Amino acid sequence: MNKIILGVMAVSFSAACFADDLEGKVVAVIDGNTLQIVCQDDHTHIIELVGIDSPELSQEYGQESKRFLERIALGKKVTVSIEGKDRRGNPLAVVMVNGKRDLRVDLLEEGLAWTSEKNPMPELEKCRTRAENKAMGLWRQDNPTPPWTYRRQQSMLEPKTSY
């Protein structure tokens, strides 16, 4: 019973933390679409950019997308608008640098991200299409593998265990 109460309290606390926009500073870039942000209240959050998916770090252009995100966001003040959560419970958000620069658009325009696999946002899809038409970044490849396909392929290579 105590676990249930603690779980409900944790969910309530986490929802309260994300009820409004957060302001903070990017202290780390984990990969091409995931940031670690310290907010003004000294809470640290792992934030995944909503609506895009960058190549995995072990994939072609994965390191490039991480380095690009570090260059444009690391150490910068940001505003974070939470839109939901991913399957691991990390917040999915729009992150704006200095209230003006949408990191998702920058990554897409450089050809360093795809729009989401399911229900891509039309305004982001336009940015991705422009980069593809200009053969920017990963669109220089003949047939780039989307990160969701790459992750599925990698999971198929993992040994299965039986219990």
What's the pLDDT score for residue 157?
Answer: 74
* Rounded-to-integer distance, Cα 119 and Cα 83, Å: 14
* Rounded-to-integer distance, Cα 106 and Cα 33, Å: 11
Q: Is the confidence at residue 41, as pLDDT, over 60? A: yes
How big is the chain, counted in residues?
163
The residue ranking higher by pLDDT, 82 or 162, is 82
Of 23-27, 101-105, 118-122, 126-130, the poorest mean pLDDT is in 118-122
The residue ranking higher by pLDDT, 56 or 40, is 56
What's the pLDDT score for residue 87?
Answer: 84
* Residue 76 confidence class, pLDDT cut points 50, 70, 90: very high
Q: Checking DSSP bridges between strand 44-49 and strand 22-31, what pairing results, if any?
A: unpaired
Q: What is the pTM of this model?
A: 0.83
- From residue 115, give the alpha-carbon distance in Å to each of 1, 55, 159: 42, 11, 30
Q: Is the confidence at residue 29, as pLDDT, over 60? A: yes
Domains of the chain: 19-155 (2.40.50.90)
